Chain A
Amino acid sequence: MFDLAPDEISAVTLSLRVALWSMAGSLPVALLTALALSRCNFPGKTLVDGLVQLPLVLPPVVTGLALLLLLGRHGLVGGWLDRTFGLVFAFRWTGAAVASAVMGFPLMVQAIRLSLDGVDRRLEDAARTLGASRPLVFLTVTLPLILPGILAGCVLAYAKSLGEFGATITFVSNIPGETRTLPLAIYSLTQVPGGETAALRLTAVSVLLALTAVAIAGPLSRAVGRRVRGHDSGD
């Protein structure tokens, strides 16, 4: 059953690569966005909040199209990136990572923001009276306390990326070995006669990857949560 053909293996590794890069790439941005939304009041905050949520409510195809218009080789930002840095996203696996990142971004921001809202600000004040500057307070108090939220956000973004279809196929098309991730490969196999067995095989791999993520994330976030709540002498 798991005797995968080379192009199937490439779909799996590509999916993992895209998922990891999209997760890692969006984490710093999501953290900053969550901080701004949770801790700062600035004009246009509602607008930013809405923009962040947008990929969640738009049809993925629309998000993909928007990415194409923005980051395509002749897009508003894409053309400039190409000319200035030689950076191209369109029809590349990096573009697939960007599409995944954008789709998972609202989930990640939401998870981190919720945990930030839950941090007792008085603990941060206490840290400042003990001599820690604001950046150090963030590193030594806030960050450890929101670690469960960050983990949850990463797992959500990772899972979202593994399943991402519409935005990816619209933005970077369905190029074998370059942008054909697992869902795209499964879809392609269902479009050709006799592809059902291979499609089922990849579906099983998909399920396995998702289960692995859950199996790792569950105990990990429980352990981190226990540490943070401090009811356990698990040093």
Chain B
Amino acid sequence: MTLEIDLEKRRGVFRLAARFSAGPGITALFGRSGSGKSTLINLIAGLERPDRGRIVIGDTVMFDQTTGIDLPVHRRRLGYVFQEGRLFPHLSVRHNLSYGRRFTRPADRYVAFEQVVDLLGLEGVLDRRPGTLSGGEKQRVAIGRALLTSPRLLLMDEPLAALDQARKDEILPYIEHLRDEMRVPVIYVSHSIEEVTRLATTLVLLDHGTVMAAGPVEALTGRLDLHPLLGRYEAGTVISGQVVAQDPAYHLAEVAFPGGRLFVPNLKAPAGAVVRLRIRARDAGLSLHPPEDVSILNILPGQVLARGPADGGLVEVQVAIGPTTVIARITLKALDRLGLKPGCAVYVLVKSISFDSHGRD
């Protein structure tokens, strides 16, 4: 499944111009509120009409302004999971789930009712009304309802934004399941970098209605110029690696990635598992010599590639560790004291690592 988007939409002073393509897996549309993410997903769904352009999903042209093709919403077969669920209040959960199913031709169906109920753990609520469900249950029903149309592509517009952290943690594994087991292609709108690094295969960065960059998550999070857009505080480099060993005595996993090895505590994945790690820029430090007698386990040799502009007293430095790039956020004073310049050999000290998810193999 491939997705090709090239479109323009003007609304008042706001202008959206988006051009990108994406492959299978989860494609995250990431950006601040007002960046045009929701408009873009509505244009793909057909709920809004582009002024110009082309939308192709797989081998089906959804919209093409030059040939006049504009598939109506109900014939696009794109499952849409809305932020607020939008369950039908007059129907039971069972009938909400099966609502779209009857509009799907039997030949196009690839999911069964029981399969979806099982997957999303909805057995217990089938006969209840949406009004009596919790926020997390509602979103699970909304995902199931969209999934049961056997969509070509699942569109998710901040499906977790209205939920608290506990409910988010409840839903996230289900979305990973869609990606890994059911292999449903997903377009995922979010302004949460954690969700994006945990879920996304491809990242599309939007700012003020323009696509700033599109590509694999690992490549984009290692780019210095995009860092401000990714949210300074939480921003970090995403690294995919494979667990090579587990040390049960210390609950420590050793993860091999292109360029080196990382030790991650409390990572519950067996040897051989592919995992995705995130090193936040603020958790990485730099040193000219390998320090001894420090508590930090992960000390990786690398080479300074570039530095970002000073942000008050802080500056971001991009370091190559083999083919992998990592960004460290250090003080301007430290930069000058160490005399860091592109080409300098340094050691990257990683204080902590977020383990986001099991990656895809």
Binding site for B on A (CB under 8 A): 120, 122-123, 125-134, 136, 140-141, 144-145, 227-233, 235
Contact = CB atoms under 8 A, between A and B. Distances in A.
A232 B74 CA distance: 30
Interface string B254-270: 00000000000000000
Best-surrounded residue of A131, A227, A232 (most CB of chain B within 10 A): A131
Interface of B: 45-47, 72-80, 82, 84, 86, 88-92, 99-100, 103-104, 127-132, 145-146, 149, 155
A233 B149 contact: no
B92 A132 contact: no
A129 B103 contact: no
A126 B131 CA distance: 17
B89 A128 contact: no
Interface of B is mostly: loop
A131 B131 contact: no
B90 A145 contact: yes
B134 to A, nearest CB: 14
Contacts of B75: 131
B104 to A, nearest CB: 6
A43 to B, nearest CB: 23
B104 A131 contact: yes
B88 A127 contact: yes
A96 B105 CA distance: 50
Contact of B131 (A125, A136, A229): A229
Best-surrounded residue of A120, A133, A229, A230 (most CB of chain B within 10 A): A230
Contact of B130 (A128, A131, A230): A230
A235 B126 CA distance: 12
Given A130-B100, A131-B104, A144-B90, A122 B82 contact: yes
A227 B128 CA distance: 12
A91 to B, nearest CB: 45
Given A230-B131, A232-B129, A233-B132, A129 B80 contact: yes
Contacts of A141: 88, 90
A129 B104 CA distance: 12
A14 B2 CA distance: 68
